[in-house]
Copies of this chain bind each other. A is one copy, B any other.
């Protein structure tokens, strides 16, 4: 206990020192959680092999309140893994001690800083422990009280309870103050206990600065069965320094160099030689899945007419023997996205995420943290719900795959609320993302396999409507590739399409051919990265490029092509969805938006 007090004092010292040196950062939000985290890490509760952060048996500690990063870094200094000198590089260019935790810091389990996301990542890690790896590790998530306003937290709470994640322990640092004002519930711990408890969690309310109470809470949490646990702690923002303690207006404000000595004097003498001890984890092997059959190649009869969305789950099941880390998540539309086909084969590798897309993507980040290859599916339109989590997944360097079905106006009668029309823009604008858009069963099946093999974020856009085969079983598809589906030595213009519009382009090809106009047709199934070479060749060999997409004009396939050709002075004409979409039959809507066969024919005749 005395040792923990000494440790806490030094942690406070480092928090204050490093943020003042940085000239920015969040000391007050860090100070409130010192006892909560030092007691966890150095009080014998947290089990972690600090020499091997990747040890599958390690407990995990996530800072959902990522702005408390100075505390996170200081804790690892006390664990002997970070020097004081290193701490003083906080927030400096090139330092791994960034403003908010990033994977550059090896003990950060996920990139956080967009609030309300950490608990979902914890859900993913906990699902892996309890149901996949079957390992006894625990997941601790430090939450701020302000972020409890985020709906995503309540999604994580409900799903964690539903899946009975008793290896998940939330630590809620109720320091009362948000960025600009008091939070909705201030220091009313019961307000949180009532709400979190009603969601099926076991709750424990404590004084978060009383080490004894904190230790008891961890004991109780670790022995709770069948329910996740939330420790709800009353704390003071800025705790330990009288002139900043529990005061409004000091969020994200470090002490000045003038204030620092006074604060350090208040702390009293610190022993810089003190080190905390972290308990060692068990040494168990993660469980292995039962695999059905051997890995086989994709194979379809030539007369197959099948929607790419219907291929998705089949492909996942087919490749599972080769990619045994696959886990599927779906937002309660598995019978529309056809992730259900995989679930029927591998029910223990499918987790129902209900209609809560934010938590679903966060959970995927957690599964990726534990080496899994999560495939996440829902309607493409509803992925917009999780765009912040998708954005953050890339900063976590997560290896996740996202499948969006029901794209474009070609879904028909359901109307615009269900049409994914901005998904290409959304996913293209994520750093280093891969965006794939298959047009038939064979390309869909093979691209699912490519996605699994690729390390990083991959988005696959699938179509609602059944489509005939364009390719044979031996055709190969790779990320960054494209297919010249029709070409001759007298092509007048090039039509670049993908997915549903490829079929319109092929129909246009036939009609134009009958009129003795030859067009080149390119299937741009890899929208990002894009096959610039093939596009450049077409630019040189034909008069103009026409792009056709079932998507709004901005940020999609058309602009991908324009970007690829921008330095060549190419002429690119784009057909896309430009009128307010409505209900109707797929064909009526393709026609209405000017992305149908006849629209392509008309445009070609205009340009020729």
Tell me which of B146, B384, B414, B562 contacts A388 (CB under 8 A): B384
* A583 and B92 within 8 A (CB): yes
Distance in angstroms between the alpha carbons of A484 and B65 in the assembled complex: 44
A99 CB within 8 Å of chain B: yes
Q: A113-B415, A355-B116, A355-B146 are in contact. Are A583 and B385 (CB under 8 A)?
A: no
Q: 1/0 contact trace for A550-564 toward B, CB 8 Å?
A: 001111101110110
Copies in the assembly, this chain: 2
Asked whether, in the complex, the Cβ of B429 is within 8 Å of the Cβ of A552, the reply is: yes
Find the residue from A388, A528, A552 having the highest chain B CB count within 10 A: A388
Q: Are B583 and A574 in contact (CB under 8 A)?
A: no
**Least Cβ distance of A235 to chain B in Å?**
18
Contact of A588 among B22, B93, B567 (CB under 8 A): B93
Complex CA distance for A415 and B429, rounded to whole angstroms: 18
Does A470 lie at the interface of the complex (its beta carbon under 8 Å from any beta carbon of B)? no
Whole-angstrom CA separation of A387 from B332 in the bound complex: 20
Asked whether A385 lies within 8 Å of B388 as measured between CB atoms, the reply is: yes
Q: Is the CB of A554 within 8 A of B573?
A: no
With a cutoff of 8 Å between Cβ atoms, the chain B residues found around residue A382 in the complex are: 114, 388
Is the CB of A381 closer than 8 A to any CB of chain B? yes
Please tell me if the beta carbons of A151 and B152 are within 8 angstroms of each other in the complex: yes
Q: Known contacts A198-B195, A387-B384, A429-B552; decide if A413 and B24 are in contact (CB<8 Å).
A: yes
Q: Chain B interface: which of A80-88, A207-215, A334-342, A441-449?
A: A334-342
Q: Is A410 an interface residue (CB 8 A)?
A: no
Q: Contact flags (1/0) for A403-445 with B, using CB distance below 8 Å?
A: 0000000001111111001100110111110000000000000
A598–B160 alpha-carbon span in the complex (Å)? 50
CA distance A577 to B394 in the complex (A): 14
Partner of A566, one of B116, B179, B198, B573: B573
How far apart sit A387 and B395, CA to CA, in the bound complex (Å)? Answer: 19
What is the bound-complex CA distance between A146 and B353, given in angstroms?
Answer: 12
Q: CA of A292 to CA of B392 in the docked complex: distance in angstroms?
A: 43
A274 beta carbon closer than 8 Å to chain B? no
Interface residues on A, range: 35 or more
A117 to chain B, nearest CB (A): 9
A333 within 8 A of B: yes
B98 near A415 with CB under 8 A, answer yes
Determine the chain B residues whose CB is within 8 A of the CB of A335 once the complex forms: 179-180
Across the interface, which residues of B come within 8 angstroms of A588, CB to CB? Answer: 93
CB distance from A576 to the nearest CB of B (A): 10
Pair B384/A115 contact, Cβ less than 8 Å: no
Q: Contacts A114-B382, A355-B115, A431-B580 hold; do A180 and B332 have CB atoms under 8 A apart?
A: yes
Q: Tell me whether B426 and A387 are in contact (CB under 8 A).
A: yes
Name 26 interchain pairs, CB-CB below 8 A, sorted by A. A23-B413, A25-B413, A92-B583, A93-B582, A98-B415, A99-B418, A150-B151, A150-B355, A152-B385, A162-B184, A179-B336, A195-B198, A195-B199, A198-B198, A381-B388, A387-B426, A421-B431, A425-B425, A428-B555, A431-B577, A431-B580, A554-B555, A555-B555, A559-B563, A562-B562, A566-B573
| Residues of chain A at the chain B interface (Cβ within 8 Å) | 22-25, 66, 91-95, 98-100, 102, 104, 111-116, 146-147, 149-155, 158, 162, 178-181, 183-184, 194-195, 197-199, 332-336, 340, 352, 354-356, 358-359, 381-382, 384-385, 387-388, 390-392, 395, 412-418, 421-422, 425-426, 428-432, 528, 552-556, 558-560, 562-563, 566-574, 577-578, 580, 582-585, 588-589, 592
